[in-house]
Amino acid sequence: MSLEAMVEDTAHLLDVWVTGWAGCRGYETGKEGRFPAALRADTTHEWVYFAHDPSESEFAELAAKTAEVPSRVLTILTNEVARYVSLAQKHRLNVTSASQTMMILDMETQDSEDPWLSDESLNLVTSIANGVHHAIVQAADELAASGQLFVADHTAVFDKIVTEPKYQRRGLGSFIMKALAAQAFEHDVEAGLLLASLDGQQLYSHLGWSTVCHVLMLSASDEGSDLSVG
Residues 50 and 78: their CA atoms lie apart, in Å, by 11
Helix, strand or coil, per DSSP, at residue 167: helix
Q: What integer pLDDT is reported at residue 77 of this predicted model? A: 98
Whether residue 149 contacts residue 132, with contact meaning beta carbons closer than 8 Å, is answered with: yes
pLDDT band at residue 142 using 50, 70 and 90 as cut-offs: very high
Is the pLDDT confidence value at 108 over 70?
yes
Q: What integer pLDDT is reported at residue 4 of this predicted model? A: 76
- Burial-class residue 93 by CB neighbours within 10 Å (0-12, 13-18, 19+): buried
The set of residues, in sequence order, having a beta carbon less than 8 Å from that of 61 and lying 6+ positions away, is: 33
pLDDT tens string 51-100: 999 999 999 999 999 999 999 999 999 999 999 999 999 999 999 999 99
pLDDT band at residue 224 using 50, 70 and 90 as cut-offs: confident
DSSP H stretches of helix in 91-151 = none
Residues 89 and 106: their CA atoms lie apart, in Å, by 37
pTM confidence score: 0.95
Is the pLDDT confidence value at 1 over 90?
no
